[in-house]
Amino acid sequence: MTRVRVRYQKIGSLRYIGHIDLHSLLERALRRSGLPLRYSQGFKPKVRLNLASALPLGMEGLAEKMDFWLNVQMETDGIKAALIAALPAELPVTGVRIVDNALPSLQADLRAAEYQVTLPSESCAEAQVVLTSALQQEKIMVKRRNKVMDMRPWVEAFEWAADRGFNIRLRSIPQESGRPDELLDYCGIDPARAAITRTKLIFQTEE
Amino acid sequence: MQLPNEIEQLLYRVEKPGRYVGGEYNQTVKDWDSVDLHIALAFPDIYDLGQPNLGLAILYDLLNQAGGIAAERVFSPWLDMEAAMRSAGLPLFSLENKRPIRDFDILGITLPYESIYTNVLNLLDLAGIPLYSRERTKAHPLVIAGGQACFNPETMADFIDAFVIGEGEEVFIEIAEAYRAWKKSGGERGSLLESLSEIQGVYVPEFYEVAYQEDGRIASISPTSSIAPKRVRKRIVAQLPPPVTRFLVPNVGIVHDRIAIEIMRGCTRGCRFCHAGVVNRPVRQRPVAEIVDAMEAGLQATGYQQVGLLSLSSSDHTQIIQIVDAVYERFKERRVQVSLPSLRIASFSVDLMQRLQTLRPGGGFTLAPEAATPRMRAVINKELDEAELLETARQVFERGWLSLKLYFMIGLPGETMDDVLAIAELGKKIQRIGWQARGKRISVHLGVGSFIPKPHTPFQWAATDSSASLMDKINALKDALRKTGIKLSYNHSDSTLLESWLSRGDRSLGQVIHAAWRNGAKFDAWNEHFNIDAWQKAFESVGIDPAFYAHRSRDLDEVLPWDHIDIGVNKQFLRADWLMSQRGQTRDDCRDGCFHCGILDAFSEVQPLANEYYWGCP
């Protein structure tokens, strides 16, 4: 059993595809690839496939990761070529590696994520003021579905990028995963007018 | 594909934004300026329902393969997106190049059923195209429509420039060529419509005049131009073209996540209620190898695991056993789920299904007796021996299925309450058979639909049963099935009323549809959105009684609104069949002997001799 780790991007119109739909999209793409896939056991076997982290709807991802399994050993070049042929253009593959089966799952290994937020240029200066003051507060209470949470402790790094917006690193573990759009909402900035890109996933063991 | 900024800002706030962005695997995006003809293909309901439509997939594939044409898709935005687009002043756009629909040369609209009509008006309005054909100029796209509802085009005649009557595969290319020639000529809109009306299978309503009698019935329908034919004969393809295999793979969940392969078009059974069975004559089959190869290619091109083998009556394909064997042999090592709908009631059908089930188990079994007494089955010409039905049910349970669904219709011509109650009795008999075979685990489900008479069928002269009578029948069935554990579902609702008002409509209903849409009617096919008030007010404001269309029996010599639409089956044949029905007489399957319905006379010139592409006609 070969565990294949794929680094890919989710860009363009595909950023409007939700996590569950992305999962079935990848499953179908893997079947199209003709690779000797490993299936789950059971009455209705499914392609064995793990994604590192759900990317919120509307955001682009430049360094997303997934694992899937093959029944045989194969060269990474061949795997990569098969994947590229089977995936839509807005889901480009940027890296393929074989990894140890004993490693923890991507989800369990994930620690934080970095985002690049671009704001409309006319509102940039004003946003800088509100964001800076928000981050100086002790708590940033945001609402997600019916829960109110403090996301201040999850902000691990923040840097202002002149004339464009900002970069932010947010903790990303179960129950404690920050979202940049929620921060914008908190500051009264319409997230629909911002372009948010997840630029990096940071893991405990995986580099 | 970089989305225009205006669109992006709306997407953040709407449900399932993936519906509006395209980008699917196998979509065709052409450079806008690299082609000289732009065609928007519209299905006037949401993406989730429209995208799986096979007709749309066929035309999309075909037009994009033809040189110099970009065919792009457009669907109705859901309520949230529509509101967002209207408030942002954003016009309806295509999924491929995100171009406003009014920039296209041709807008081709699929009209599969009547409850989609107000959505057509909404779609035109969102696109910024005048609703009425007569208000459009050459600055607007040519608006054409096709699909099963277009066999009676009159109801929508005010809004559509030209209808395709029959199968679109060949005629759409001819329309595109005529359009291209007209565009080069720099002529007026009228000359485009004239050249279209010269194409067989194209109906241009503007060139016909309808005269009414005082009571609202039609006096005559006649062409106003010498170019327009007296009757417009439908188009067919003599031989089914190679099936689509490069299916577009939606990124968001839709109603059918599968590929669909049409194994046969048309039907020889002659059920008198069935619109599809008459208008899609003659029967044309696809050869076994073509079906199995298309499955292979389609699964490979999409990554799907499900296949629907479509036809009006699967077990009537003369090589159905060979098809099932070949599918089994080819796919037995793979996890493919194959569905074979519309099976005849016979143990042989259970054999077929069992073979396919071994590929991937699961699912229930469905049979459609349609009526529960021999008398009613003679009326509708769907003869079936009850013993055979019960034996088939027994086989279904004995061979492993635990649930059986049976479809029936109520409100059929000449039906009595006894005929209706017999549905419950039959359900109970089948339940007992299931208990004997498998014990109390089995379930029996009766699906009861309200019959709506359709144009071009032997029942086109019949009145639709009244709503009160249909409700009585449903209540009687509910009573009869109480505490039996048999599940009953029925579709009688206000939206079936709408179907009965519109399906046999004439041109006067155009203003009613317009008024209903202005009153807020849209998504009428969605039970929870159907707004009967909007429709009733519309009928009132225009001064038309909907019962005139629904609950009136037509005289045999009445001019029907669709009499100038020639489906190849002649009116004398339908009339004789209607009279036979009233006498309880049946006709056999017509592949055993020709009843001269007219289809062969109409199309004998193109009937292929090659046996592989066999027509059902003897």
Domain co-membership, B102 together with B217: yes
Domain co-membership, B353 together with B393: no
| B300 class by beta-carbon count within 10 Å (0-12 exposed, 13-18 middle, 19+ buried) | middle
Q: Give me B506's structure tokens.
A: 């004439």
Q: Collect all residues of chain A within an 8 Å Cβ-Cβ radius of residue B9.
A: 192-193
Question: Alpha-carbon distance B605 to B591, whole Å?
Answer: 19
- Give the total number of structural domains in chain A: 2
Query: Which residue would you say has higher pLDDT here, B9 or B392?
Result: B392
Domain co-membership, A60 together with A16: yes
Domain co-membership, B552 together with B417: yes
Domain co-membership, B158 together with B284: no
Question: Alpha-carbon distance A12 to A61, whole Å?
Answer: 10
Q: Which of A110-119, B221-230, B250-259, B413-422 has the lowest mean pLDDT?
A: B250-259
Residue B533 lies in a domain: no
Which of A61, A81, A103 terminates a domain? The answer is A103
Domain co-membership, B180 together with B62: yes
Which of A103, A126, A155 terminates a domain? The answer is A103
The pTM is what? 0.95
Minimal CA–CA distance to A30: which of A20, A21, A38, A41? A38
Domain co-membership, A97 together with A147: no
Pair B310, B54: CB distance under 8 Å? yes
Mean pLDDT estimate for chain B? 94
pLDDT score recorded for residue B610:
66
Domain co-membership, B58 together with B15: yes
A184 inside 8 A of chain B by CB: no
Domain co-membership, B147 together with B108: yes
Q: How far apart are the CA of A184 and the nearest CA of chain B, in angstroms?
A: 14
Domain co-membership, A94 together with A120: no
Domain co-membership, B308 together with B372: no
The stretch B500-525 carries a mean pLDDT of 97
Q: Collect all residues of chain B within an 8 Å Cβ-Cβ radius of residue A17.
A: 18, 251-252
Which DSSP letter does residue B578 get? Answer: H
The stretch B273-298 carries a mean pLDDT of 96
Pair B374, B419: CB distance under 8 Å? no
**B13: nearest CB among A17, A86, A192:** A192
A16/B2 touch (CB, cutoff 8 Å), yes or no = no
pLDDT score recorded for residue A80:
98
Q: Tell me how far apart the terminal alpha carbons of chain B are, to the nearest angstrom.
A: 53
Domain co-membership, B91 together with B226: yes
A193/B9 touch (CB, cutoff 8 Å), yes or no = yes
Question: Alpha-carbon distance B67 to B33, whole Å?
Answer: 13
- Which CATH number characterizes residue A160's domain? 3.30.70
- Which CATH number characterizes residue A29's domain? 3.30.70.580
Dihedral Cα B568, B573, B574, B580, nearest 10 deg: -160
Q: Collect all residues of chain A within an 8 Å Cβ-Cβ radius of residue B11.
A: 16, 58
Residue B517 lies in a domain: no
Pair B407, B450: CB distance under 8 Å? no
A16/B18 touch (CB, cutoff 8 Å), yes or no = yes
Domain co-membership, A128 together with A188: yes
Q: What is the helix (H) or strand (E) element at residue A166, kind and residue range?
A: strand A165-173
* Residue-number span of the structural domain to which B288 is assigned: 258-360+588-618
In chain B, pLDDT over 90 holds for what percent of residues? 86
Domain co-membership, B310 together with B284: yes
Residue B332 binned pLDDT confidence (cut-offs 50, 70, 90) = confident
Closest residue in B to A43 (Cα) is B361
Pair B375, B264: CB distance under 8 Å? no
Domain co-membership, B472 together with B501: yes
B87 inside 8 A of chain A by CB: no
The stretch B81-104 carries a mean pLDDT of 96
Q: Collect all residues of chain B within an 8 Å Cβ-Cβ radius of residue A31.
A: 303-305
Domain co-membership, A44 together with A131: no
Domain co-membership, B392 together with B302: no
Residue A72 clears pLDDT 80, i.e. is over it: yes
Residue B238 lies in a domain: no
Per residue in B572-610, pLDDT tens? 999 999 999 999 999 999 988 999 999 999 998 888 876
Per residue in B456-474, pLDDT tens? 999 999 999 999 999 999 9
B613 inside 8 A of chain A by CB: no
Domain co-membership, A119 together with A97: no
Pair B601, B569: CB distance under 8 Å? no
- Which CATH number characterizes residue B480's domain? 3.30.750.200
B301 inside 8 A of chain A by CB: yes
A-B contacts at Cβ under 8 angstroms: 75
- Which CATH number characterizes residue B344's domain? 3.30.750.210
Closest residue in A to B22 (Cα) is A13
Which of A103, A120, A152 terminates a domain? The answer is A103
Degrees, nearest 5: CA angle B531-B117-B493: 40
Domain co-membership, A114 together with A68: no
Residue B578 lies in a domain: no
Interface test with A, best of B3, B12, B337 (most A CBs within 10 A): B12
* Residue-number span of the structural domain to which A185 is assigned: 109-203
In chain A, pLDDT over 70 holds for what percent of residues? 100
A58/B252 touch (CB, cutoff 8 Å), yes or no = no
Closest residue in A to B2 (Cα) is A12
A32/B253 touch (CB, cutoff 8 Å), yes or no = no
Domain co-membership, A96 together with A115: no
> Angle formed by the axes of helices A76-86 and A19-33, to 10°?
120
pLDDT score recorded for residue B362:
66
Domain co-membership, A22 together with A89: yes
Q: Give me B179's structure tokens.
A: 């359009």
pLDDT score recorded for residue A124:
86
Domain co-membership, A87 together with A7: yes
Per residue in B39-76, pLDDT tens? 999 999 999 999 999 999 999 999 999 999 999 999 99
Interface test with A, best of B15, B25, B257 (most A CBs within 10 A): B25
- Give the total number of structural domains in chain B: 3
Residue B141 lies in a domain: yes
Residue B611 lies in a domain: yes
A153 inside 8 A of chain B by CB: no
Per residue in B398-431, pLDDT tens? 998 999 999 999 999 999 999 999 999 999 999 9
Pair B338, B367: CB distance under 8 Å? no
A32 inside 8 A of chain B by CB: yes
The stretch B376-402 carries a mean pLDDT of 94
A92 inside 8 A of chain B by CB: no
A140 inside 8 A of chain B by CB: no
Contacting residues for B508 by C-beta, under 8 A, at least 6 apart: B212, B216, B542, B544
pLDDT score recorded for residue B617:
84
Residue B1 clears pLDDT 50, i.e. is over it: no
Question: Alpha-carbon distance B367 to B372, whole Å?
Answer: 12
Residue B179 lies in a domain: yes
Residue B569 lies in a domain: no
B303/A45 touch (CB, cutoff 8 Å), yes or no = no
Residue B494 clears pLDDT 90, i.e. is over it: no
Q: How far apart are the CA of B27 and the nearest CA of chain A, in angstroms?
A: 10
Domain co-membership, A129 together with A175: yes
For B519, what's the count of Cα atoms within 13 Å in the CB-facing half-sphere?
21
Domain co-membership, A115 together with A65: no
Residue B3 binned pLDDT confidence (cut-offs 50, 70, 90) = low
The dihedrals phi and psi of A144, each to the nearest 5 degrees, come to: -130, 120
Q: What is the residue-wise DSSP string for B26-58?
A: T-----GGG-SEEEEEEESS-HHHHTT-HHHHH
